[in-house]
Amino acid sequence: MTVHLNIRQYLLRGGAWAFAGKVLTALMGLALSALLARLLSPEDMGVYFLVFNLATFFSIFARMGLENTLLRFISEALTRNQFNRARTVISKGLQLVVLSTIIVAIIVYLGVSPWLAQYLFKSNIPEAVFAFLVIWLILLAFQFLFAEIFRAFHDIRMAVLSGGLLTSVVTVIFITFYMLMKGHAELSQVLPWILLAGILNIAIAIWMMTKKLHVLKFSTRDNSVNYSELANHSWPMLINAVTLFILSQSDIWILAAFRSDDEVAVYGAAARLVLLTGMALSIVNAVVPPLIAHMNVQNKKKQLERILRTAATFAALPSLLVLSVFMFFGSWVLEIIFGGYYRTGGTILMIFSIGQVVNVLVGSCGYTLVMMGYRRTVMLISLFSAAIALGSGLIFVRSYGAVGLACGFVFALIVQQLAMLVFARYRCGIWTHAGIRYLAVPMSISK
C-alpha cells in the first residue's frame, strides 16, 4: 500500500461520507432520545443523560489522549510511506489503551460509583446501572480510538461508521422493538440493549482494522516508536480532552448536584438538540485533520488556509439556518421531538445555539493547532476556559438555575474558540474562520 493523496478526490469522497454519516448519526441520536423520552419517566431520562455523560467523561481517561496522537502519528507516517512506523503506533497505542481502560474501569466501579450514588444522583439508582456505566465507558473509549485510526488512513467511511453511526442505528432498532413490545420501561432494562449495539460496533471495527493492517507493505525505513514517545505526545491531549469535556458537558453534573433529575432531563434534551447547530462543522472536522497533517508535512500552508476557510464558510450557512429556527421556535421543536414536558427548555436551547454558531464560525482552529504540534497551547487555552466555565456555572446555577448555568458555559466556550482562532494564526500562520468572500472563491485544489 503506497499513499498518494489526491486532495480533491479525498475532500469530495470523504466529505460525502462525513456529510451522510453525521446527518444520519444526528438523526439517529435524536430518534433515540425521542424514543427514550417516551419510554422512560422524566426522572429516568435525566439519569440516562447523566450516565451517558459520565461514561463519556471516564472514557477520556481510558484512552489517555491517544486518539489524537494516533491520528497525527499515523497520518504523518503514511504520508512519508513509513508503514512499519504506522503499524507500531497502532499496536503500541492499542496496548496502552487496553491497560489504561482496565485500570480506569476498576477505579470507577470500586471507588467512584459509591461516591456518585451518594452525592451526584438524587434518585435511588440500581447497582446494575453502575455496572453498565463501566461497560459503556470501555466501549466509548475504543469507539473514539478506532474512529481516529480509520480517519488517519483517510477512510472516512469507516471512521463515520465506527465513530457512532452503526451504534446509533442498531440502538434505535433495538429500542423501537422494545417500545413496541413493552410500551414503558425502567433505565436498567434499556441499557443492556444500548451496550449490545456498542459491542457489535467494536467487533466490526476490529475486523475492519485487521484487514486494513494486512495490506500495509513492509518498508525498511527508520520506523521506530516507543511507548514514552506516545505518552509524551498524549498527556497534554488528555488534559485538553478533560478540560474540553468540563467546558462542554460538566454543566449537567453541576445541574444534577443542585437541581432535580427532571430538570436535568430538560437541560439534557436541549443539549442533545443543539448538536444539530454544530453538525456542519463536525462534518468538516471528520475530514480535515489528516489533511492538515499531510499538507503541513508538505509545507502547503496557503493552500491549506484556503481549504479550511472555505470549509468553515460553507459549514456556517446551515448552522445559521438552524440557529434561526431554534431562536424563534425552540420550545415548539423540543415539544415535537421529546414531548410536551420538555418545551420549557426553549431558552436554554437558544443560548446553546449561540455558542455553537461561534464555534462553527471560527472553523477548525483547534485541530489546526493539534495537528501542527501545538497541543500544549490548546491545553492551556482549554484549562483557562474550563476554569471560567466551572466558576461562572457554580455561581449562576444557584441564582438563575439552568438558564444561568447555560449562559456561564456558553460564555466560556466563546472565549475558548476565539482564543484558539487567534493562536492558530499566531502559531501556525493560518486563519481558519469563515469569510463571505470565500463563498465566491472556488477551491483550487491540486494533488
Query: Is residue 3 scored above 50 in pLDDT?
Result: no
Closest to 293 (Cα-Cα) out of 127, 116, 78, 122 = 78
Helical pair 301-338 and 7-39, crossing angle rounded to 10 deg? 20
The backbone region for 265, taken as left when phi is positive above 0, alpha when psi lies in -120 to 50, beta otherwise, is alpha
pLDDT at 120: 59
Q: Which three cell numbers stand for residue 358?
A: 461561534
Top mean pLDDT of 89-93, 178-182, 217-221 is at 89-93
What is the separation of C-alpha 25 from the centre of its chain, rounded to a whole number of angstroms? 12
Classify residue 2: in a domain, yes or no.
no
Query: Is residue 158 scored above 80 in pLDDT?
Result: yes
Q: Report the alpha-carbon distance of residue 378 to residue 284 in Å, rounded.
A: 19
pLDDT at 402: 85
pTM of the complete model beyond 0.75: no
Q: Which three cell numbers stand for residue 27?
A: 438523526
Task: Kindly indicate the confidence band of residue 444, based on its pLDDT and cuts at 50, 70 and 90.
Answer: very low
Kind plus residue range of the DSSP H or E element containing 47: helix 42-63
Closest to 404 (Cα-Cα) out of 331, 339, 355, 347 = 347
Mean per-residue pLDDT, 249-263: 78
Mean per-residue pLDDT, 299-328: 84
Mean per-residue pLDDT, 197-201: 92
H helices then E strands: how many in the chain?
18, 0
Mean confidence (pLDDT) of the chain: 81
Query: Is residue 46 scored above 60 in pLDDT?
Result: yes
Our CA angle for 192, 198, 204, nearest 5°, is 140
> How many other CB atoms are found less than 10 A from the CB of residue 388?
18
Classify residue 445: in a domain, yes or no.
no
Exposed / middle / buried, residue 109 (Cβ in 10 Å: 0-12, 13-18, 19+): middle
pLDDT at 223: 62
Query: Is residue 216 scored above 60 in pLDDT?
Result: yes
pLDDT at 101: 93
Our CA angle for 329, 332, 335, nearest 5°, is 150
pLDDT at 106: 92
DSSP for 196-229, written as a single string: HHHHHHHHHHHHHHHHHHHTPPP--S-----HHH
Classify residue 443: in a domain, yes or no.
no
What is the separation of C-alpha 187 from the centre of its chain, rounded to a whole number of angstroms? 24
Classify residue 447: in a domain, yes or no.
no
Q: Which three cell numbers stand for residue 219?
A: 518498508
Mean per-residue pLDDT, 267-288: 76
Classify residue 199: in a domain, yes or no.
yes
Q: Which three cell numbers stand for residue 281?
A: 462543522
Query: Is residue 235 scored above 60 in pLDDT?
Result: yes
Exposed / middle / buried, residue 373 (Cβ in 10 Å: 0-12, 13-18, 19+): middle
Classify residue 192: in a domain, yes or no.
yes
Mean per-residue pLDDT, 235-263: 78
User: Which residue segment(s) compose the domain that 417 sits in?
Assistant: 7-438
Query: Is residue 443 scored above 50 in pLDDT?
Result: no
Classify residue 154: in a domain, yes or no.
yes
pLDDT digits (tens, 9 = 90+) for 86-132: 888 888 999 999 999 999 999 988 888 777 766 656 555 666 778 88
Q: How many domains does one find in the chain? A: 1
Q: Report the alpha-carbon distance of residue 177 to residue 234 in Å, rounded.
A: 42
Mean per-residue pLDDT, 45-53: 81
Lowest mean pLDDT among 56-65, 78-87, 91-100: 78-87
Cβ atoms 327, 353 nearer than 8 A:
yes
Q: Which three cell numbers stand for residue 156?
A: 472516512
Q: What are phi and psi of 133, to 5 degrees?
A: -60, -45
pLDDT digits (tens, 9 = 90+) for 315-360: 888 778 888 888 788 888 888 888 788 888 888 888 888 888 888 8
Query: Is residue 382 scored above 90 in pLDDT?
Result: no
Cβ atoms 265, 46 nearer than 8 A:
yes
Distances (CA, A) of 334 to 30, 105, 144, 386, 429: 11, 35, 29, 28, 42
Q: Report the alpha-carbon distance of residue 69 to residue 74 in Å, rounded.
A: 8
Classify residue 446: in a domain, yes or no.
no
